[in-house]
Each structure stands twice: as structure tokens, then as C-alpha cells.
Chain A
Amino acid sequence: MTIGHPGGAPQGSLEQVPPFALPGEHFAAALVWLVLGAAGLVAVAPELAQGGFLLPHVIAVTHCFTLGWITTSIFGALYQLFPVTLGVPARSVRVGHATFWVLEAGVVALVAGTWWWHPALVAAGWLTMFLAVGGLAWNVLPQRRRAPRGRVIGLYVSAGHMAFGLAMAVVAARIGAELGWWRLERLGYLAAHAHLAVVGFATLTAVGVGSRLLPMFLLSHGHSEWPLQRIGPLVGAGLAAFAVGELAHVGALVVAGGVAMAAGIALYLWLGAAYFRHRARRALDPGLAQVAAAFGYLAVATGLGLAVLVTPGFHPRLMVSYAVAGIVGWISLLIVGIYQKIVPFLTWLHRFSARVGQPGVPRIAELTSPAAGWTAVGLLTAGVALLAAGVAAGAGAVARAGSLGFAVGTALLVAQHARLALRR
């Protein structure tokens, strides 16, 4: 008997997908960072409620999320996504493993150097991160020029990576200022850096990757695609104006850029709602409910960001609430939701895909406990709400209660993923 595919191999053929170890090691390390970040949130919650965003411990915890959880997850996802969605694999799996270890070494150095405030370690972490980002850029990004499909996703990923590079360049500029080479106002630098990283890198990458993943998981058909042509340019132009305005102290540019960014994000919220509205799967599972909650936090973060932009004076607690909603509520919970979908999916693919049609093959949903999943969603979502509210109100106890809820939800989530990984 012979077998074959006269219509060509199915797109997303397993032959092009990297070994499970490559995205798997990224996802495992990212989950460790999520645990560290969640524990760190409990530790720094009172400082957050006082608006202490410049404290070393707060900066260290922030980078557990931004670099450890978010960046490591995105890097792992790109190695898995490019072959499946764009039809092109990374140049080298070996380089992929190498960039993973370099990335993790860089994040460890940066977070440890910030927590114990050791500038040499921070600088070493920055340099190591630079190598990791460059390595991933070499390994993945040029491949999109050969991609037979997924042009828009490739553009968003490239734009996100460019924003990451700029966020790192702004840090380098800050180091130069510390050394007395030039002047750079600290708050302006911080605003430019944070927005380049969270809006430019994380959010633009999420828009691109999500344009493929979310309709696929929701079984969403018939929604408009045109917002994808507008969101990137709007957010990108707004971000550029905002960052230049912050660095050069041009208030009008900051406001114009902030408004353009918010308009782009509002358009993305509309698109996100369309994904859910046009879904064929009416009942949401925990992963998709977590994604929906993350979109809710994106709306909250956008409102808080505009409030920071237009409110005269310096309001550190409002700024920290904005950061909590954006970094923990939006992008971190979005990735949590995607993990709840993609980790069981990949586990099934690698354990059971060869046995399709045979008895005893479970459905993907049967690999995890819905009760544990829903409990984690509730704890994580409510935890962020309580944390952000506690920070806004200056109530340290409330902020700590919220961070505890988030930490318990994280522990539940990680235990579920660990159980899945150990399943035979």
C-alpha cells in the first residue's frame, strides 16, 4: 500500500516544525520566570502601592515579567510559529538552543543585578541580552522574506523586534547618561523604554501572532482583516512620536504619539472583539476566557494610559496601576491564556498525533482539568484587578492580597503544565 499527498503536503507539515525541545525549553523557562515574577509581586506589592516604580526590587520584578515571562515565551513561540504559519523554519535549531541559553543568562544577570543593585551585572545582562536578541533576529527574521504566506504576521514580528532593539538602545543611552556622556532625563527615558518594550515589542508581536492563533482557536470566520493593515502603522507611528517626545522633552509629540498609540490599540480591541463575536465555538474554555480577560485589561490599560497622559502633575500610583494593567493584566495574562491552549496542543501533537483514528486517543481538552483551569483564570484575573486597585488607592494590604491571588493562580497553572509534561 502506498500513501501520499497529491495536493501537496499539508501546510504546517511536521517536517518543518522544530524538535519539541526548542519551544519546550523556552516555555518551561518562561513558566519559571512567571513563578518568580508572581512571588516578586507579593514581595513588592506595598512598594507598588506607594508608587515606588524606580525602586530596584520593583524594576527587577518587572523584568521577571517583561524579559523572563514575556520575551522568553515570544522567542519560543516564534520558533514554533514561523514553520507552521509562515511555512519557513528557523535557519538553525542549534542556534535556537544557543540563543535560548544566552537569553536566559542575560535575564538572570539583569534581574539579579537589578534586585541587588549591581550595575556591572546589569550591564553584563544587557550585553548578553543584546547577543540573544541579535541571535534570534539572525535565525528567524530573514526567513520571512522566503515565506510563502503570513506576510502580515511576519511584518508585525519584525516591527516588534525592531522596537525591542530600540528599547535596548534607549537603555544603552541611559547607561551613557549615567557615565556623564550626555544628559537623559530619567522619567522620559523610562517612559520611552517601557512603551517601546511593552507596546512596541510585546503588543505588536501579539497582534501579529494573535491574528493567526486567536481565529484558529476560536474557530472564528468572517471577521474583517483590514484593521491589521492600520493597527501596525498607527501604533508604530504613535510609539515613535511618543518615544522621541519623551527623550527630547517635546510635550506635544508625547501627547500626539500617545493618542495615536491609543487609537491603534482601540482598533485592535475592536478586532479582538470581532474574533470573539465571529467564533463558531460558542463556549469558551479556560484558555480562551483568559485571553478575553486579557483584552479587558488592554482596554483598562489604554484608559489608564490616556489618564496618565492628560492628567497634569506627577502621579506615580496612577502610573504603576497603568503598568500593572498593561504588563501583568494585558500581555502576561494573554500569554497565560495562549499557554493554556498551546501547551496541551503541543503535548497532544507530540504524544498522540501518530495514533489519530486509533482507539484511546484523547481529545486535547481531556489532557487538562477544566476545574483547575477555571480556578487559575479566576485567581489570576481577580488578582490583577485587586493589585491594580490596591495600587491606585495606595492600599498596600489590598495590593498584597491581589498579588497573593495572582501567585496562587500562577502556582495552579504551573502545576497543571508540569502534570501535562510528565504525563505518559
Chain B
Amino acid sequence: MITPGGLDASEEAVYRQLKRVIDPELGQSIIKLGLVYDIGVRDGDVIVTMTLTTPGCPLGDAITRGVESVVGELPWVRSVHVAIVWDPPWTPAMIR
């Protein structure tokens, strides 16, 4: 689970954008829910490593597209890749 500490300026910009992606069922941002595990930025290419509250979550596609959309709004971003991972599995204890 990612925290703002230790992020460089570009990663922090991505982090701020991700706060806009709200899980519509739970009403919280994916950052607050602890779904985002890592943000990687290299030469304008962004990789967001994240999970979902449950495997087979029907909102997975919508949330992924939302991540791509909001991160893609940053002017210096060339590409956005979202990696969905299940290890470690998400638990409610990850909610901030």
C-alpha cells in the first residue's frame, strides 16, 4: 500500500490524481481504500500497481479506466499502464 512519503514530484502528481478515482460502491478514493500498491514513473511512462477489493470485482474495468483517464490528464504523461495484482490480497485493514 503506497503512502505519499518517499514519492518524487512526478509520482506525487500521479498520487494526487489517483485521489480523484472514487469507488462508487464504497464512496472512497482508491488511495483511501488502500488499493494502490505502487506508482512507477520513468520518462513519462506511468505504471500504477494496484488491486481490487475482491477478485472478479465487477467495477474493476471502470476503476482501471478511471485510473488511466485521470493519470493521462497530466501533461507530461506519455503512457499509463495499470497492473492489477492479487498479492498481497486486499483486506479492510488497508483502509486509511
Interfacial residues, chain A to chain B (CB-CB below 8 A)? 1-15, 17, 84-85, 87, 149-150, 212, 215-217, 219, 221-222, 280-281, 345, 348-349, 352-354, 356-358, 361-365
* A2, B79: Cβ atoms closer than 8 Å: yes
* B56, A212: Cβ atoms closer than 8 Å: yes
* B84, A356: Cβ atoms closer than 8 Å: no
* A1, B21: Cβ atoms closer than 8 Å: no
Would you give the shortest CB distance from A411 to chain B, in whole angstroms? 27
* B27, A363: Cβ atoms closer than 8 Å: yes
User: What's the Cα separation between A173 and B74 when bound, in Å?
Assistant: 69
Identify the 5 closest CB pairs spanning chains A and B, nearest first. Answer: A356-B66, A10-B60, A280-B92, A353-B62, A7-B83
Q: Which residues of B contact A84 (CB under 8 A)?
A: 56, 58
User: What's the Cα separation between A352 and B25 when bound, in Å?
Assistant: 12
User: What's the Cα separation between A328 and B25 when bound, in Å?
Assistant: 28
User: What's the Cα separation between A13 and B65 when bound, in Å?
Assistant: 11
* A7, B49: Cβ atoms closer than 8 Å: yes
Across the two chains, which residue of chain B brings its CB closest to A220?
B92
Would you give the shortest CB distance from B23 to chain A, in whole angstroms? 9
Interfacial residues, chain B to chain A (CB-CB below 8 A)? 17, 20-22, 24-27, 47, 49, 52-70, 72, 77-85, 91-92, 95
Would you give the shortest CB distance from A365 to chain B, in whole angstroms? 7
Across the two chains, which residue of chain A brings its CB closest to B77?
A1
Contact of B61 among A212, A215, A353, A365 (CB under 8 A): A353
Give 23 CB contacts A-B under 8 Å. A1-B79, A3-B68, A5-B81, A6-B83, A7-B49, A7-B85, A10-B52, A10-B64, A12-B56, A12-B58, A12-B59, A12-B60, A212-B56, A216-B54, A221-B91, A221-B92, A280-B92, A353-B61, A353-B62, A356-B62, A356-B69, A357-B22, A357-B69
User: What's the Cα separation between A68 and B53 when bound, in Å?
Assistant: 34
Contact of A354 among B22, B25, B65 (CB under 8 A): B65
* B52, A5: Cβ atoms closer than 8 Å: no
Would you give the shortest CB distance from A88 to chain B, in whole angstroms? 12
Would you give the shortest CB distance from A281 to chain B, in whole angstroms? 8
* A356, B95: Cβ atoms closer than 8 Å: no
* A280, B82: Cβ atoms closer than 8 Å: no
Contact of A149 among B56, B63, B78 (CB under 8 A): B56
Would you give the shortest CB distance from A222 to chain B, in whole angstroms? 8
Give the dominant DSSP class at B's interface.
mixed
Q: Which residues of B contact A216 (CB under 8 A)?
A: 53-54, 57
* A356, B63: Cβ atoms closer than 8 Å: yes
Q: Which residues of B contact A13 (CB under 8 A)?
A: 60-61
User: What's the Cα separation between A303 and B83 when bound, in Å?
Assistant: 49
Would you give the shortest CB distance from B53 to chain A, in whole angstroms? 7
* B56, A150: Cβ atoms closer than 8 Å: yes
* B81, A4: Cβ atoms closer than 8 Å: yes
Q: Which residues of B contact A217 (CB under 8 A)?
A: 25
* B66, A357: Cβ atoms closer than 8 Å: yes
Contact of A363 among B22, B64, B82 (CB under 8 A): B22
Would you give the shortest CB distance from B22 to chain A, in whole angstroms? 7
Would you give the shortest CB distance from A212 to chain B, in whole angstroms? 7
Which has the most chain A C-beta neighbours within 10 Å: B17, B24, B52? B24
- Give me 14 other A-B pairs in contact (C-beta within 8 A), A12-B58, A357-B67 excluded: A1-B72, A2-B78, A3-B82, A4-B81, A9-B84, A10-B57, A12-B59, A12-B60, A13-B61, A14-B61, A280-B95, A349-B59, A356-B24, A363-B27
Contact of B56 among A3, A11, A219, A356 (CB under 8 A): A11
Would you give the shortest CB distance from B80 to chain A, in whole angstroms? 5
* B92, A219: Cβ atoms closer than 8 Å: yes
User: What's the Cα separation between A252 and B17 when bound, in Å?
Assistant: 67
* B79, A87: Cβ atoms closer than 8 Å: no
Across the two chains, which residue of chain A brings its CB closest to B78?
A1
Q: Which residues of B contact A3 (CB under 8 A)?
A: 68, 72, 79-82
* B60, A357: Cβ atoms closer than 8 Å: no
Contact of B58 among A15, A349, A362, A363 (CB under 8 A): A349
